[in-house]
Protein backbone atom coordinates (compact mmCIF):
# COMPACT_ATOMS: atom_id res chain seq x y z
CA UNK A 1 0.00 0.00 0.00
CA UNK A 2 1.76 3.21 -1.14
CA UNK A 3 -0.09 5.36 1.41
CA UNK A 4 0.97 3.15 4.31
CA UNK A 5 4.56 3.25 3.09
CA UNK A 6 4.53 7.03 2.61
CA UNK A 7 3.03 7.64 6.05
CA UNK A 8 5.54 5.24 7.62
CA UNK A 9 8.39 7.04 5.85
CA UNK A 10 7.32 10.40 7.29
CA UNK A 11 7.10 8.86 10.77
CA UNK A 12 10.50 7.26 10.20
CA UNK A 13 12.04 10.62 9.30
CA UNK A 14 10.82 11.95 12.65
CA UNK A 15 12.26 8.88 14.43
CA UNK A 16 15.62 9.27 12.65
CA UNK A 17 15.77 12.93 13.66
CA UNK A 18 14.80 12.37 17.30
CA UNK A 19 16.22 8.93 18.15
CA UNK A 20 18.74 7.86 15.49
CA UNK A 21 20.33 4.42 15.67
CA UNK A 22 23.88 3.72 14.50
CA UNK A 23 22.38 2.39 11.27
CA UNK A 24 20.41 5.63 10.82
CA UNK A 25 23.56 7.70 11.38
CA UNK A 26 25.32 5.67 8.70
CA UNK A 27 22.49 5.88 6.15
CA UNK A 28 21.28 9.41 6.96
CA UNK A 29 24.20 11.40 8.40
CA UNK A 30 22.66 14.75 7.38
CA UNK A 31 19.29 13.86 8.88
CA UNK A 32 20.12 12.14 12.17
CA UNK A 33 19.72 14.48 15.13
CA UNK A 34 18.25 17.41 13.16
CA UNK A 35 14.90 19.14 13.68
CA UNK A 36 12.27 16.70 12.47
CA UNK A 37 9.78 19.35 11.33
CA UNK A 38 12.39 21.09 9.17
CA UNK A 39 13.37 17.70 7.74
CA UNK A 40 9.74 16.86 6.90
CA UNK A 41 9.15 20.23 5.25
CA UNK A 42 12.34 19.83 3.21
CA UNK A 43 11.27 16.35 2.09
CA UNK A 44 7.75 17.45 1.16
CA UNK A 45 8.89 20.47 -0.83
CA UNK A 46 11.88 19.00 -2.64
CA UNK A 47 11.09 15.40 -3.57
CA UNK A 48 8.63 13.60 -5.82
CA UNK A 49 7.53 10.03 -5.11
CA UNK A 50 10.49 8.26 -6.72
CA UNK A 51 13.15 10.64 -5.38
CA UNK A 52 11.52 10.62 -1.92
CA UNK A 53 11.82 6.82 -1.82
CA UNK A 54 15.40 6.96 -3.12
CA UNK A 55 16.37 9.49 -0.48
CA UNK A 56 14.44 8.44 2.63
CA UNK A 57 13.49 4.74 2.55
CA UNK A 58 15.42 3.30 5.48
CA UNK A 59 16.64 -0.25 6.07
CA UNK A 60 14.42 -0.36 9.18
CA UNK A 61 11.31 0.31 7.10
CA UNK A 62 12.38 -2.25 4.51
CA UNK A 63 12.59 -4.80 7.30
CA UNK A 64 9.31 -3.66 8.90
CA UNK A 65 7.48 -3.93 5.57
CA UNK A 66 9.36 -7.13 4.70
CA UNK A 67 10.36 -5.64 1.34
CA UNK A 68 12.47 -7.53 -1.17
CA UNK A 69 13.01 -7.25 -4.92
CA UNK A 70 12.34 -9.81 -7.59
CA UNK A 71 13.56 -10.07 -11.16
CA UNK A 72 10.82 -11.36 -13.47
CA UNK A 73 12.64 -11.85 -16.78
CA UNK A 74 10.26 -12.93 -19.55
CA UNK A 75 13.08 -14.94 -21.15
CA UNK A 76 13.44 -17.19 -18.10
CA UNK A 77 10.96 -19.71 -16.71
CA UNK A 78 11.61 -18.68 -13.11
CA UNK A 79 11.45 -15.59 -10.92
CA UNK A 80 14.62 -14.57 -9.12
CA UNK A 81 14.80 -12.83 -5.74
CA UNK A 82 17.29 -10.11 -6.60
CA UNK A 83 17.51 -8.21 -3.30
CA UNK A 84 17.05 -9.13 0.35
CA UNK A 85 17.72 -7.48 3.73
CA UNK A 86 21.46 -6.93 3.52
CA UNK A 87 23.68 -3.94 2.69
CA UNK A 88 23.55 -4.43 -1.09
CA UNK A 89 19.93 -5.51 -0.95
CA UNK A 90 18.74 -2.36 0.79
CA UNK A 91 20.17 -0.20 -1.99
CA UNK A 92 18.72 -2.43 -4.70
CA UNK A 93 15.27 -2.48 -3.05
CA UNK A 94 15.31 1.32 -2.87
CA UNK A 95 16.26 1.62 -6.55
CA UNK A 96 13.69 -0.94 -7.68
CA UNK A 97 10.84 0.55 -5.67
CA UNK A 98 11.69 4.11 -6.72
CA UNK A 99 11.79 3.04 -10.39
CA UNK A 100 8.18 1.86 -10.10
CA UNK A 101 7.14 5.43 -9.33
CA UNK A 102 9.30 7.05 -12.01
CA UNK A 103 6.94 8.35 -14.69
CA UNK A 104 9.50 7.83 -17.44
CA UNK A 105 9.34 4.09 -16.72
CA UNK A 106 5.55 4.11 -16.97
CA UNK A 107 5.22 5.88 -20.31
CA UNK A 108 6.34 4.39 -23.62
CA UNK A 109 9.39 5.87 -25.34
CA UNK A 110 7.94 6.93 -28.71
CA UNK A 111 9.81 9.53 -30.72
CA UNK A 112 9.50 11.17 -34.11
CA UNK A 113 12.06 9.39 -36.29
CA UNK A 114 11.37 10.87 -39.72
CA UNK A 115 9.11 13.38 -41.45
CA UNK A 116 9.08 13.27 -45.25
CA UNK A 117 8.42 16.99 -45.73
CA UNK A 118 9.39 17.13 -49.41
CA UNK A 119 7.74 13.84 -50.39
CA UNK A 120 4.52 12.20 -49.24
CA UNK A 121 4.63 14.09 -45.88
CA UNK A 122 4.50 10.81 -43.96
CA UNK A 123 5.39 10.77 -40.27
CA UNK A 124 7.46 7.89 -38.88
CA UNK A 125 7.37 7.26 -35.13
CA UNK A 126 9.72 4.87 -33.36
CA UNK A 127 9.01 2.95 -30.20
CA UNK A 128 12.01 1.83 -28.14
CA UNK A 129 10.87 -0.78 -25.58
CA UNK A 130 12.03 -0.47 -21.98
CA UNK A 131 12.82 -3.86 -20.41
CA UNK A 132 11.21 -5.55 -23.44
CA UNK A 133 7.75 -4.35 -22.38
CA UNK A 134 5.47 -4.24 -25.43
CA UNK A 135 3.16 -1.37 -26.24
CA UNK A 136 -0.39 -1.55 -24.98
CA UNK A 137 -2.79 -3.04 -27.52
CA UNK A 138 -4.50 0.34 -27.90
CA UNK A 139 -1.57 1.74 -29.91
CA UNK A 140 -3.54 1.21 -33.14
CA UNK A 141 -6.31 3.53 -31.88
CA UNK A 142 -3.76 6.13 -30.79
CA UNK A 143 -2.18 5.95 -34.24
CA UNK A 144 -5.56 6.76 -35.80
CA UNK A 145 -5.76 9.91 -33.68
CA UNK A 146 -2.24 10.94 -34.68
CA UNK A 147 -3.24 10.39 -38.33
CA UNK A 148 -6.30 12.63 -37.90
CA UNK A 149 -4.10 15.37 -36.43
CA UNK A 150 -1.25 14.99 -38.94
CA UNK A 151 -3.42 14.51 -42.02
CA UNK A 152 -0.91 12.27 -43.80
CA UNK A 153 0.36 8.69 -43.45
CA UNK A 154 1.69 7.74 -40.02
CA UNK A 155 4.04 4.79 -39.53
CA UNK A 156 4.87 3.26 -36.14
CA UNK A 157 8.07 1.24 -35.90
CA UNK A 158 9.59 -0.73 -33.03
CA UNK A 159 13.35 -0.80 -32.53
CA UNK A 160 14.38 -4.34 -31.57
CA UNK A 161 17.27 -5.22 -29.23
CA UNK A 162 19.36 -5.93 -32.33
CA UNK A 163 18.76 -2.39 -33.62
CA UNK A 164 16.55 -3.71 -36.43
CA UNK A 165 13.38 -1.71 -37.06
CA UNK A 166 10.05 -3.47 -37.48
CA UNK A 167 6.83 -1.77 -38.62
CA UNK A 168 4.12 -2.27 -36.01
CA UNK A 169 1.34 -0.37 -37.74
CA UNK A 170 0.53 2.21 -40.37
CA UNK A 171 -2.38 4.57 -40.65
CA UNK A 172 -4.14 4.44 -42.96
CA UNK A 173 -3.51 0.73 -43.15
CA UNK A 174 -1.38 -0.13 -46.17
CA UNK A 175 -2.97 -2.03 -49.07
CA UNK A 176 -6.34 -1.76 -47.41
CA UNK A 177 -8.98 0.95 -47.27
CA UNK A 178 -10.09 1.53 -43.70
CA UNK A 179 -13.43 3.32 -43.60
CA UNK A 180 -13.12 3.80 -39.83
CA UNK A 181 -10.52 6.54 -40.29
Q: What is the mean pLDDT of residues 29-46?
A: 96
Residue 71 shares a structural domain with residue 82: yes
Give the single-character DSSP code of 77. Answer: S
The answer as to whether 179 is a domain residue is no
Alpha carbon of 29 to those of 10, 23, 34, 173: distances in Å? 17, 10, 10, 59
Residue 13 shares a structural domain with residue 75: yes
The answer as to whether 33 is a domain residue is yes
The band of 179, judged by pLDDT with boundaries at 50, 70 and 90, is very low
Give the model confidence (pLDDT) of 62-91 as tens digits. Answer: 999 999 999 888 888 999 998 898 888 999
Residue 21 shares a structural domain with residue 64: yes
Share of the chain above pLDDT 70, in %: 96
The answer as to whether 177 is a domain residue is no
Alpha carbon of 30 to those of 15, 60, 63, 127, 135: distances in Å? 14, 17, 22, 42, 42
Residue 94 shares a structural domain with residue 112: no
Residue 175 pLDDT greater than 60, yes or no: no
Give the single-character DSSP code of 125. Answer: E
Residue 146 shares a structural domain with residue 93: no
Q: Domain range for residue 122?
A: 108-171
The answer as to whether 180 is a domain residue is no
- The residue count of the chain comes to 181
Structural domain count of the chain = 2
Three-state DSSP at 107 gives coil
Give the model confidence (pLDDT) of 39-51 as tens digits. Answer: 999 999 999 889 9
pLDDT attached to residue 148: 96
Give the model confidence (pLDDT) of 129-168 as tens digits. Answer: 887 788 888 999 999 999 999 999 999 999 998 889 999 9
Give the single-character DSSP code of 28. Answer: -
Of 103 and 163, which is predicted with more confidence? 163
Residue 88 shares a structural domain with residue 112: no
pLDDT attached to residue 174: 64
Amino acid sequence: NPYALGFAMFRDIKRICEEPTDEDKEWFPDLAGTDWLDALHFAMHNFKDESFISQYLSPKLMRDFKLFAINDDDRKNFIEVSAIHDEMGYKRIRETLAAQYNLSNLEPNIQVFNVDVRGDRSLTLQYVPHNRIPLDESYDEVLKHVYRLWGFDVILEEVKDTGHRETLATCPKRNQYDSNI
